[in-house]
Structure 1
Amino acid sequence: MPQPTPRKPTLYTVTADSLVAIDLNPRTRIRPRTKPRPDAGNRPPGPYRSLFTVSGTRAFTAGNLLARLPMGMFGVSAVVMIAGTRGSYALAGAVTATGLAATALVAPWTARLVDRYGQARVAVPATLLAALGSLALLLCVRADAPAWTLFACCAATATTPNLGGMSRARWAHLLRGDPKALHTANSFEQAVDELCFMLGPVLAAFLCGTFFPEAGTLAGVVLLVTGMLLFVAQRSTEPPADERAGRTTASLLRAPGIPPLLAVCLAMGMVFGAMEVVTIAFADAKGHRSAAGAMLGLQAAGSCAAGLLYGAVKQTGPARERYLWCIAAMTALLTLPLLAASLTGSLWLLAGALLVAGMATAPTMVTGMTLVQERTPEGRVNEGMTLAVTGLLGGIAAGSALGGRLAEHASATAGYGVPVAAAAVALMIALASSGRWNRSPRPAR
């Protein structure tokens, strides 16, 4: 049996660029061997993956997301439930406005108790009380109780803790000393806010329309309580309580830089409230009122995407300077819906303009919350962010009323002047107050 021809040895030479194997057998060709590719598993994780390498962060984020989703459900559910049984949108709007006003009054006190006694000790009973208020509202509507009972029940829901503020307080505690990671965390939380307020109304409308009018409220209560219990169960990530926070008589309204920030939040709230009402009025005037939800959803989607992108980009310069640029960009982009509505009257162009305008919302809110955290005394972070949210709620209520009145008595197109003007006011306040936002040691309690 013939023996196989022995293969000639291979000579390896190293060059500057690659490793080349030269086979001395003349019947074969020279073939390059490229450098081995680095293992993809050795690459450093991205900014958002790095956030969740800390133990407990995924669990508290999941619980907070479940509990925060109903915040976008309760308003729509209450309107559908009350208007469907009582036949009055005016009554439904008045009841939900009462709950909003009560929340603006009660939320800062609830936040102060959370800072003083801890999230688990305060948030659970406060959430249960709010859940009972929602269930009582449901029963009163079903039982055809007097109208005043609806107002009382809705006011009882004001004890709902500021879920976004508590989550941001945990990130601030876990990432203290790392401003880059904290910026990413704040961007993530803002994207979660936009996601909840984008999906919440859609989910509520689906449940109320598919099953029964009270289904949205009932599902919201279950999600709120379940999510809150999961959130507070993660004790390892909870910021420590500071009993001095609740005993101090000094108001955060006196902290340097806080009043103008709250004024900006009030103006920003007017932007959001007016934009929502005017967009609904504009779509209704064009005979496509049902399209308003999708158009507002595009605005929220743009803000959500921009928030995630903003958190992944490395930031340069102090937050106060970025805040000015963000508000200026938002003011400029908000003119696009006004131009689209006035010049063309096209719902498609208006939807695209709202998508672009929404992209400036999240970066502005993220930077504003960063400034609030910087200017809030240590140990009262949750209270400071709750005050900012309260300012937003007050602005939303005022913007809704003003935008709706202008859209009704003038035109829906003219109503878009309200968010543009409110954004311009926010920019002027920020320009006049930027000197007070220089980073300095937090004021003493």
Structure 2
Amino acid sequence: MDSVTKTKSPYSELFSLPGAKGFCLSAAIARLPVAMMGLGIVLALNHIYNNWTSAGLMSAVFTFSAAVVTPFYARLFDRFGQRKVGLVVLSVQAVAMLAFAFGAMHRISIGLLFILAVLMGLTQFAFGALVRTRWAWALAPQGARGEELLNTAYALESGVDECVFILGPILSAWLATSVNPVAQLFVPVAALLLGGLAFFSLRSTEPPAITEVSQEQLGQAGRVTNSPVDQGGVVKPGAHQGRYKAKSALSFPAVFLLFIIFIVFNMSFSAVDVTVTALTKQMGKEGIVGLQLSLIAVGSLCGALIFGSLKLKGSRWRYLLRYLILLTIGYVGFRLTMNNLVLLGMVELVTGLCVSPIYATGNLIVRGTVDSSSLTEGLSWLNTGSSIGTSLGSTLAGVALDAFGPPGAMMIPWIVTACSVPLALLGWAVSRKRDKKTNQL
């Protein structure tokens, strides 16, 4: 029996957990709008106004609005529970997305459409953070083995993200070019409702709500008498309400630094999306833009599967630094091969191998830094950083396209990713210094 257990795939172990298949699949479907809306807005707005700057700016406004509120929703999820908060926000989000889609379809004024884009963004929350919190909750009872499997779970979710981002742009581009220029704004609503409602219906895997207790309920030395978290910071299986107010995840230096890093390097992805969209249109091959953009996600999916099977040794910051350097080199290859879509696609596949490990490593750093009662918020700050970076990247790329064309815009990805490398190096240095002090105690 022991030999069978030892040879069992870590992915098989994950999906043997009760309810794991259900919440993983439903969350994947619910994340499809994230992969479709950014490019969908660009395609719809460029068709209506024939202006890349307006299209990129509106996509950025939507993404930035979502980024602003993501941590706020995350704290609500941690405080009151995923289902209780999620069903309300999900309903409002669907209405807001439909309002924007109908507004674009009827070609309302661009000013009003910008307002609807902001309102739509303000209803967005991070399903990725919710499902990663569920993995941490489900694996907590397994102790050390659970911590090992958490690496696999986070790599798996990064791979799921890439599957979503493979399908999303292809579906958006196909709907916009073959069905209707705004059809790609309606399909995400259906995916959101289907996946979201299924996810929130799975109550057996929902982490417990964490509520604030009064000072009178605190024990001596500030201890909580009915804390659902053990001394190791792991939520106890079967625990319920009753915890002191959690420390904000962003107050941890490591989380704050990761937040900045994720803003900077995520500017590259939206810049690539907008630039490749303009490049294929310029070449008269606009119909393959979705396929072209999905190639980096295919590589990232492969990278996630490989990374999830590894046993990490040493500082997670070292892995983050390594993959950011490789990603920068890959983006230089984008600029050199952009005039040949076949060569560009090959470089995208190879470069994509680095993408999922970056996200998985960042999530692992957060998981090892914050208290379990703030885990959803901590993970959401990375989503927020990604969203802010995405909005800035699409805006920069739109301006660069109108001013310099695709060659100038394709410079943005490698420049911004290179800027994130010194920040990761700083995080690694601080981490090593802290570890040395810990070992000396």
TM-score for the superposition, normalised by structure 2: 0.81
Report what 1:161 is aligned to: 125
Report what 2:228 is aligned to: none
Bigger Cα Rg = 1
Higher helix share: 2
Task: Work out whether residues 33 and 192 of structure 2, in 8 Å CA contact, stay in contact via their aligned partners in 1.
Answer: yes
**Deviating more after overlay: 332-341 vs 223-232:** 332-341
Q: Identity rate of aligned residues, in percent?
A: 29
String of CA shifts for 1:191-214, please: whole Å, max 9, x gaps: 111111221122233344444445
| Helix, strand or coil at the partner of 1:257 | helix
CA separation in 1, counterparts of 2:300 and 2:363? 15
Find the partner of 1:302 among 289, 292, 299.
Answer: 299
Report what 1:110 is aligned to: 73
Task: Work out whether residues 129 and 156 of structure 1, in 8 Å CA contact, stay in contact via their aligned partners in 2.
Answer: no
Task: Work out whether residues 158 and 359 of structure 2, in 8 Å CA contact, stay in contact via their aligned partners in 1.
Answer: yes
CA RMSD of aligned residues (A): 2.9
CA separation in 1, counterparts of 2:335 and 2:329? 11
Q: Is 1:55 aligned with 2:18?
A: yes
- Structure 1 residue 431 displacement after superposition: 0.8
CA separation in 2, counterparts of 1:305 and 1:268? 20
Q: Is 1:173 aligned with 2:137?
A: yes
Report what 1:122 is aligned to: 85
Find the partner of 2:194 among 203, 212, 226.
Answer: 226
Q: Is 1:321 aligned with 2:285?
A: no
CA separation in 2, counterparts of 1:104 and 1:73? 16
CA separation in 1, counterparts of 2:41 and 2:285? 23
String of CA shifts for 1:194-249, please: whole Å, max 9, x gaps: 11122112223334444444543333212211211111111111111112499859
- Structure 1 residue 51 displacement after superposition: 0.6
Report what 1:279 is aligned to: 276
Report what 2:230 is aligned to: none
Report what 1:73 is aligned to: 36
The runs of 5 or more residues in structure 2 that have no matched partner are 214-242, 436-441
Q: Is 1:349 aligned with 2:343?
A: yes
Task: Work out whether residues 256 and 436 of structure 1, in 8 Å CA contact, stay in contact via their aligned partners in 2.
Answer: no
CA separation in 2, counterparts of 1:72 and 1:435? 34
- Structure 1 residue 78 displacement after superposition: 3.9
Report what 2:115 is aligned to: 152
Aligned residue identity for 2:350? V
Report what 1:416 is aligned to: 410
The runs of 5 or more residues in structure 1 that have no matched partner are 1-37, 441-445
Find the partner of 1:205 among 169, 173, 177.
Answer: 173
| Helix, strand or coil at the partner of 1:175 | helix
Q: Is 1:264 aligned with 2:261?
A: yes
**Deviating more after overlay: 398-407 vs 166-175:** 398-407
Task: Work out whether residues 60 and 390 of structure 2, in 8 Å CA contact, stay in contact via their aligned partners in 1.
Answer: no
**Deviating more after overlay: 231-240 vs 115-124:** 231-240
Report what 1:429 is aligned to: 423
Highest relative contact order (Cα 8 Å, sep 6+), 1 or 2?
2
- Structure 1 residue 370 displacement after superposition: 1.0
Task: Work out whether residues 69 and 196 of structure 1, in 8 Å CA contact, stay in contact via their aligned partners in 2.
Answer: yes
CA separation in 1, counterparts of 2:190 and 2:118? 19
Residues 335, 250 of structure 1: alpha-carbon distance in 2 compared, 3 angstrom cutoff: same
Q: Is 1:377 aligned with 2:340?
A: no
